[in-house]
């Protein structure tokens, strides 16, 4: 029995939101700011799979965890759900908080922005509980104060993410079938950026805008890199094996790493092709986390 069901409430008190996996289809590092953060240009898409967060609105702030990924997370106090809630409470006087319950399904420290998506779902739930408009600037501010990936996750739909992660431009992306594979090797985002060894105050390139249209976008995606792949491969050499396993699946249109890794994804024409590919990879590598989904 989950902790939420122990609390006195009716179903109509419970608000619930999906916290989808984020996938960086491309990621360019265009430089490094004086404050140490890197300037990014990244096409971000969201998957049909992810965590789920619910909220019973109330005065006190609390969190319980459930699901296959819950055991990996340490003390609840530094959970990004609570950090996002506190960041919003600091900006909205008298904010009603409540009890959060997180069903954690996504791998942690995986380049899928699971924690960021949980934080964004917490902000959306608090906005609903408090009657805040979706475009209330305090939501965006609280998102960025929680983490660089949280503004894109708050947007929750395909977008171009720029700057440290604060500039979000909505994008119309075609939908693809996709397979996500994590070799169950956690990779630290901070460590991957550190290995790039870019001195603060460096500029090293310009953003390139994507074309429109399914075929043109796919051709363009194939030419764009994820600049974080080389350092992530140094930290997690198993990525070579993951890439080879995905490339061997019939119908794989593109194979790449998401974010700072170590999750790799492959795109397919549709969900049936993705489901067949996921079955193949999971059968050959039962120790890996393998998920077929839709991406767009
Ligand atoms: C790399 C990306 C790409 O979408 O995703 P993930 O691999 O984490 O999923 C994100 O930029 C990660 O965002 P997020 O995980 O929220 O980062 P933060 O908590 O703000 O920072 C974690 C670490 O990464 C560094 N960092 C993060 C973002 C950025 N633009 N430049 C950085 O140098 C920070 O200095 C910090 O050491
Ligand atoms: N709700 C959460 N889900 C996942 N990670 C969390 C959460 N709250 C805090 N964290 C911490 O945030 C860090 C990054 O987690 P995560 O968002 O899964 O990484 P990534 O963006 O690389 O997939 C981890 O070190 C983890 O311990």
Residue 189 has a pLDDT of: 98
Nearest 5°: CA angle at 111, between 108 and 116?
A: 70
What is the mean pLDDT of the segment spanning 63-76? Answer: 89
Does 3 reside within a domain? no
Asked which of 170, 192, 224 is the last residue of a domain, the reply is 170
Does 246 reside within a domain? yes
- For ligand 2, atom 18: residue with the closest CA: 108
162 has which bridge partners?
41, 167
**Both 151 and 80 in a single domain?**
yes
Q: Which residues are catalytic?
A: 22, 149
Residue 10 has a pLDDT of: 63
* Any ligand 2 atom below 6 A from CB of 147: no
Does 248 reside within a domain? yes
The rounded Å distance from CA 190 to ligand 1 centre is 7
pTM equals 0.95
71 is in an annotated binding site: no
DSSP letter assigned to residue 259: T
**Both 138 and 210 in a single domain?**
no
**Both 61 and 183 in a single domain?**
no
**Both 192 and 75 in a single domain?**
no
Asked which of 144, 170, 196 is the last residue of a domain, the reply is 170
- For ligand 2, atom 27: residue with the closest CA: 73
- Residue 66, pLDDT above cutoff 90: yes
- The number of distinct structural domains making up the chain is 2
* Any ligand 1 atom below 6 A from CB of 113: yes
- Residue 106, pLDDT above cutoff 60: yes
Secondary structure E strands in the chain: 15-32, 38-58, 61-66, 97-103, 159-163, 167-170, 176-182, 202-203, 254-257, 264-268, 289-295
CA 274 vs CA 68, 70, 179, 265, 271: distances in Å: 23, 27, 6, 10, 5
190 is in an annotated binding site: no
**Both 111 and 184 in a single domain?**
no
- Helix residue ranges, H only, 1-136: 80-89, 114-130
* Any ligand 2 atom below 6 A from CB of 181: no
Could you tell me the residue range of the domain that residue 243 belongs to?
Answer: 176-295
Does 32 reside within a domain? yes
114 is in an annotated binding site: yes
The pLDDT tens digits for 172-199 are 999 999 999 999 999 999 999 999 999 9
Percent over 70 (pLDDT), the chain: 96
Least confident range from 17-21, 99-103, 208-212: namely: 208-212
**What per-residue string of b and e applies to 87-119 under the rule 16 or more CB within 10 Å gives b?**
bbbeebeebebbbbbbbbbbbbbbbbbbbbbbb
């Amino acid at each position: 029995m989950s902790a939420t069901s122990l609390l006195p409430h009716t179903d109509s008190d419970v608000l619930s939101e999906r916290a989808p996996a984020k996938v960086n289809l491309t990621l360019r590092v265009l430089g490094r700011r004086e404050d140490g953060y890197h300037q990014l240009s990244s096409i971000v898409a969201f998957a049909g799979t992810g965590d789920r967060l619910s909220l019973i609105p109330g005065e006190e702030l609390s969190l319980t965890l459930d699901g296959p990924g819950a055991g990996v997370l340490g003390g609840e106090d530094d959970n990004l759900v609570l950090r996002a809630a506190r960041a919003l409470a600091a900006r909205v006087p008298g904010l009603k908080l409540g009890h959060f319950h997180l069903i954690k399904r996504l791998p942690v420290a995986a380049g899928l922005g699971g924690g960021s998506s949980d934080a964004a779902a917490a902000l959306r739930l608090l906005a609903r509980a408090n009657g805040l408009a979706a475009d209330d600037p305090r939501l965006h501010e609280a998102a960025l104060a929680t983490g660089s990936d949280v503004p894109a996750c708050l947007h929750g739909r395909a977008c171009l993410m720029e700057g440290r992660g604060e500039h979000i431009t909505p994008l119309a992306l075609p939908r693809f079938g996709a397979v996500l594979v994590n070799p169950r090797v956690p990779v630290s985002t901070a460590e991957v950026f550190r290995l790039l060894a870019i001195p603060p105050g460096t500029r090293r390139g310009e953003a390139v805008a994507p074309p429109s249209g399914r075929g043109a976008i796919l051709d363009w995606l194939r030419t764009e890199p994820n600049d974080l792949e080389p350092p992530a491969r140094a930290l997690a050499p198993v990525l070579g094996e993951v890439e080879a396993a995905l490339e061997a699946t019939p119908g794989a249109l593109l194979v790449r790493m998401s974010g700072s890794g170590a999750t790799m994804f492959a795109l397919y024409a549709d969900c049936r092709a993705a489901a067949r590919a996921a079955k193949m990879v999971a059968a050959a590598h039962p120790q890996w986390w393998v998920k077929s989904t839709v991406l767009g």
